[in-house]
Chain A
Amino acid sequence: MREFRDAARVQALIQKIAPLADELAAAFGRPIQIMEVCGGHTHAIFRYGFAQLLPHSIEFIHGPGCPVCVLPVKVIDEAIAISAKADTILTTFGDPMRVPGTSQSLLQAKAHGADIRVVYSPLDALTIATKNPHKQVVFLAIGFDTTMPSTALTLTTAKAQGINNFSVLCHHIRLMPTLEALLAGGDIQLDGFIGPGHVSMVIGTDAYQPVAKVHHKPLVVAGFEPVDFLLALYQLLIQLKEGRCETENAYARVVNHRGNLTALAAMDSVFDYGEDCQWRGLGWVENSGVRIKPDFSAFDASKHFSPSAEPGIQQEPCYCQQVLKGQRKPNQCPLFAKHCKPEHPLGALMVSSEGACAAYYQYLPDKETGIHG
């Protein structure tokens, strides 16, 4: 992997990219606007200093690809309500623990005595269930298509092993319907996409055909090392220069055009698609949600616990939506770094390290004081 972090290679790519971007921006009469869909790429842009190394003729619009950032308040409230029930253990990944709910986060609920445990894998949640046969163990499942196969396989294993004290509160979301909704909305100006590397290893590059064919935007899938990202950016600029609009793969050592067929089959056997789903900041996104199939309803926590249908109260500032859609930079929000900080987030984009606001806070120091993160 070291080769994909090599400084000389990074430098060579930047030397290729900079004049090309300047030339395109001059032709367009404005900076080139590229959306990196994935929160991991947003983080990489700042971590590796691309925001400073690349010319101002390229502007990155940070996409909605951080599932933690778009988790609605209602989901946190539901999970906390479940964790408050007797003899119940709520498990989830570390990422959603600090997301603000209506009155508290999962971390605060845990501090107040709820049995909430962070797991590395849904399989670990299943192990907790087998070790605690007299308790109900619920796994709050979040994440894009990358994470869905692991939940699917865990549910298949639970069913095969007849584990009857395990269930999943399913709040997975799918990437492609989200991209399509974003493009159909028409209120974002952008020239092309850097595609998410690890969602793509599951769904394959063929899944992005509508982006190029229907919405006429080029997309290049990128890995997460600095050289991977810059190579994808270079390929994207070449497409713009040549007036092409295609789906390309700059992460072919991991991603193929069909995706992981075993993972897709596991998803298809457990989940039904086509659910409209509420996103924090974006509202309802058509078709982006998934539901556990009736065959697995014994493992569907929403059936067992009948979580309240009451919508959670969105307390976050209205600026979050503009940042999520790329209409405002995080540091153009009047609350940024003053009232909204990683240790006291008002909006979810400041909660996750992959959120655009958290990345700005950590890596872009305040112009006057020189400090932030």
Chain B
Amino acid sequence: MCLGVPAQIVEIVDPEQALAIGQSGGIQRQFSLALIQSQGLDLKSLIGTWVIVHVGFAMAVIDEAQALDDLALLASMQEEADDA
């Protein structure tokens, strides 16, 4: 039950309560950004960001650059496997 679901933030619905709407697999759902909010951050700047959502809270921002690095590493491993 510790599973989180990736979702992309599409709208900030209540800045005071840090509530956002996000889209995940074609479904829109409301969740809280309070646990990824840092002081002075304009929540609107998070629109378009991918996050992991667990029981109604965004828990982590998905680092796209890191995801691309992982994929590059995998691509090089795949080439090695193809060559073998």
User: CA A266 – CA B31 in complex, angstroms?
Assistant: 17
- Check if B34 sits within 8 Å of A198, measured CB to CB: no
Residue ID in chain B nearest A145 by CB atoms = B2
Residue ID in chain B nearest A266 by CB atoms = B35
- Check if A231 sits within 8 Å of B54, measured CB to CB: no
Tell me if B47 counts as interface (CB < 8 A to partner A). no
Chain A nearest CB from B37 CB (Å) reads 7
Give residues of chain B (1-33) contacting chain A, Cβ–Cβ below 8 Å: 1-4, 6, 31-32
Chain A nearest CB from B75 CB (Å) reads 8
- Check if B2 sits within 8 Å of A120, measured CB to CB: no
Chain A nearest CB from B49 CB (Å) reads 13
Chain A nearest CB from B70 CB (Å) reads 6
Q: List the B side residues contacting A262 at CB < 8 Å.
A: 34-38
- Check if A146 sits within 8 Å of B54, measured CB to CB: yes
Tell me if A8 counts as interface (CB < 8 A to partner B). yes
> Secondary structure at chain B's binding surface: helix, strand, loop or mixed?
mixed
User: CA A38 – CA B38 in complex, angstroms?
Assistant: 29
Residue ID in chain B nearest A228 by CB atoms = B70
Tell me if A289 counts as interface (CB < 8 A to partner B). no
Give residues of chain A (175-226) contacting chain B, Cβ–Cβ below 8 Å: 196, 198-199, 201-202, 224
Contact of B55 among A15, A66, A120 (CB under 8 A): A120
Indicate with 1 or 0, residue by residue over A2-23, a CB within 8 angstroms of chain B CB atoms. Answer: 0100001101110110000000
* Count, chain A residues at interface, CB 8 A: 49
Q: List the B side residues contacting A13 at CB < 8 Å.
A: 74, 77
User: CA A58 – CA B34 in complex, angstroms?
Assistant: 41
Indicate with 1 or 0, residue by residue over A43-83, a CB within 8 angstroms of chain B CB atoms. Answer: 00000000000000000000001111000000000000000
Tell me if B64 counts as interface (CB < 8 A to partner A). yes
- Check if B71 sits within 8 Å of A143, measured CB to CB: no
User: CA A142 – CA B84 in complex, angstroms?
Assistant: 48
Residue from A9, A15, A93, A254 whose CB has the most chain B CB atoms within 10 Å: A254
User: CA A67 – CA B55 in complex, angstroms?
Assistant: 15
- Check if B81 sits within 8 Å of A260, measured CB to CB: no
User: CA A3 – CA B71 in complex, angstroms?
Assistant: 8
Residue ID in chain A nearest B82 by CB atoms = A12
Residue ID in chain B nearest A255 by CB atoms = B60
Indicate with 1 or 0, residue by residue over B46-83, a CB within 8 angstroms of chain A CB atoms. Answer: 00000010111101101110110111001001101110
Q: List the A side residues contacting B36 at CB < 8 Å.
A: 260, 262
Chain A nearest CB from B21 CB (Å) reads 14
- Check if A147 sits within 8 Å of B77, measured CB to CB: no
Q: List the A side residues contacting B31 at CB < 8 Å.
A: 121
- Check if B60 sits within 8 Å of A16, measured CB to CB: no
Q: List the A side residues contacting B2 at CB < 8 Å.
A: 38-40, 65, 67, 143-144, 146-147, 196, 198-199
Q: List the A side residues contacting B80 at CB < 8 Å.
A: 12, 16
Chain B nearest CB from A137 CB (Å) reads 16
User: CA A142 – CA B2 in complex, angstroms?
Assistant: 10
The 9 A-B residue pairs with the shortest CB-CB distance in the complex, in nearest-first order: A121-B56, A12-B81, A12-B78, A146-B2, A253-B67, A253-B66, A201-B60, A198-B2, A15-B81
Q: What are 24 of the A-B contact pairs (CB < 8 Å)? A: A8-B78, A9-B78, A15-B84, A66-B1, A67-B2, A68-B1, A93-B1, A122-B55, A124-B56, A146-B2, A147-B1, A147-B2, A150-B35, A150-B54, A150-B56, A198-B59, A231-B70, A252-B69, A253-B66, A254-B60, A260-B36, A260-B60, A262-B36, A263-B59
Which residues of A are at the interface with B, using a C-beta cutoff of 8 A? Answer: 1, 3, 8-9, 11-13, 15-16, 38-40, 65-68, 93, 95, 120-124, 142-144, 146-147, 149-150, 153, 196, 198-199, 201-202, 224, 227, 231, 252-255, 260, 262-263, 266, 352, 354
